[in-house]
Amino acid sequence: MKRRWTKLGVSCLTILALTATLGLSCGGNGGQTVVIGNLTDLSGVGASALEPMTWALEDMVKEINEEEPVPGVQFEVMNFDTAFDTARFVPGYQRLKDRGAKVIISVFSDATEALMPLAERDKVPVLGMATTLPMIEDPGWVFAFSVPGRWSIMLMLDWIAEQWEAEGKYDTVGKPTLASTGWDDGWGREQEEGARDYCAAFPDKFEYVSGNLAPVGTTEWVAEVKALKNVDYVSLCGTGALQPATFIKQYRDAGGTGTFISTESPTAYLGYIVDYCGWDAVDGSLNTQGWGWWHLDPTEYPDCKYVKDVVYKHHEQSVADDLVHAGMGYLGGGAMQKFALDILVEAVRQVGFEDFDGQAYYDTAVQYMVDWSGSERGFTETRRYVTDEMVVLRWDAAEENLILASDGWVKIAEDLKEIP
């Protein structure tokens, strides 16, 4: 029997959420302790992916504390549960800062954008795990650990166009049709606009049919299904599990034939989506992914293997299996957060515990560049995104897995970044 993401311990989730709401922290040695704030969702619509992401953060911190890279210094995570409520973003940041957090991880792009002026004012680095263009246009105190959604969808479309050209389809069937659907939030708008702008810049590659964004929380897609039923590619722009899962099922039930394409969000909810829709509904779907996948070749992607080893080290096999089945939440979150923590450890090592503050993290981050499984990643004085390389994955029903479709990492072309 397949495991379902829903087996991930409701009682643990409740405890985490309560702890976060009370502003308590986990771990600590009562001495030299560096606090990492985690502004997340442990009880709202994003919790199914973000609970594993929080577990990954806590597990990575356990790994650091076991190794004790800075003698006498421990690290701990302080969670704040926003419950996916935008009104709790700023109070959550303030609560974490007031209780000693030197850096704050923000898992929502909308939250990160809202916190940009506060981070600048307070000199508290905000580490964004979901990225939009406004976060990186003016280099400041926000550091983005994923590829902006706009660039991601453009990379996806550019890669498809290259395959279409290589297979001679422009000559035999003409250019493909494309439409978008999703929720009308920051993430959805950026991706819909990215697809629309790409098609306007390269009118010979795609015919853009329509953008179909609905209010956040929409789960009935009658009009959208009708509008997109016969397009070649359907770009899924929704955040969370509900939007893609409900749309995919209703679209396939109505006879929709398009190939689903997406960036990173749906893979974080893969377990929910395939349990709800079935693998046949998503077979052949394509998505971009900035931090690999669970089952990529460990010799070529050793950092993915590291995260996989950590999850099986810190959790019983049945729980770890569930986390793998759930999707990209633990792996993507763990990889991004480990990168952020590596910078944190280096900053503390350089200045010492007594002198460590947000400025020390900032100064270390803007000079931090390393190889991550064959991809050069990091920041500079003028660059606030950690990477502009992604892989393309194909959802395969026969394998019940995601398979590498691209030839390794694909770099986002500079001309795509400059499309207005």
Strands 177-183 and 32-40: what pairing? unpaired
Closest CA to 187 of 146, 223, 245, 143: 146
Q: Please tell me the predicted confidence (pLDDT) of residue 169.
A: 96
Residues 6+ apart with CB under 8 A from 159: 288, 392, 406, 410
- With respect to CATH, is domain 149-295+389-417 assigned 3.40.50.2300? yes
Helix (H, G, I), strand (E, B) or coil at 30: coil
Question: 170: part of which helix (H) or strand (E)?
Answer: helix 169-172
How far, rounded to the nearest angstrom, does the alpha carbon of residue 153 sit from its chain's CA centroid?
Answer: 14
Closest CA to 36 of 320, 312, 347, 304: 347
Question: Considering only the top CATH level, what class is 5-147+300-378?
Answer: alpha beta
pTM, rounded to two decimals: 0.88
In 182-229, alpha helices (H) = 186-201, 222-228
Domains 5-147+300-378 and 149-295+389-417 share a fold: yes
Closest CA to 145 of 340, 419, 404, 398: 340
Mean pLDDT per 10-residue section of the chain, whose length is 420 residues: 37 37 41 95 81 94 96 97 93 97 94 96 96 92 95 97 96 96 89 96 97 93 95 90 94 97 91 96 97 96 97 97 93 96 98 97 98 97 97 97 97 93
Judge whether 330 and 311 are in contact, CB under 8 Å: yes
Judge whether 112 and 142 are in contact, CB under 8 Å: yes
Phi and psi, residue 183, nearest 5°: -95, 150
Q: Please tell me the predicted confidence (pLDDT) of residue 47.
A: 79
Closest CA to 54 of 336, 289, 347, 348: 336
In 278-389, alpha helices (H) = 279-282, 302-314, 317-326, 328-351, 358-365
Identify the bridge partners of residue 378 per DSSP, sorted by sequence position.
369
Q: Please tell me the predicted confidence (pLDDT) of residue 13.
A: 36
Judge whether 397 and 283 are in contact, CB under 8 Å: yes
Q: Please tell me the predicted confidence (pLDDT) of residue 248.
A: 97
Identify the bridge partners of residue 331 per DSSP, sorted by sequence position.
none
Phi and psi, residue 127, nearest 5°: -105, 100
Cα–Cα distance measured from residue 362 to residue 141, given in angstroms and rounded to the nearest whole number: 7
Closest CA to 270 of 120, 115, 395: 395
Cα–Cα distance measured from residue 328 to residue 319, given in angstroms and rounded to the nearest whole number: 15
Identify the bridge partners of residue 207 per DSSP, sorted by sequence position.
177
Q: In the chain, what are the domain boundaries?
A: 5-147+300-378, 149-295+389-417
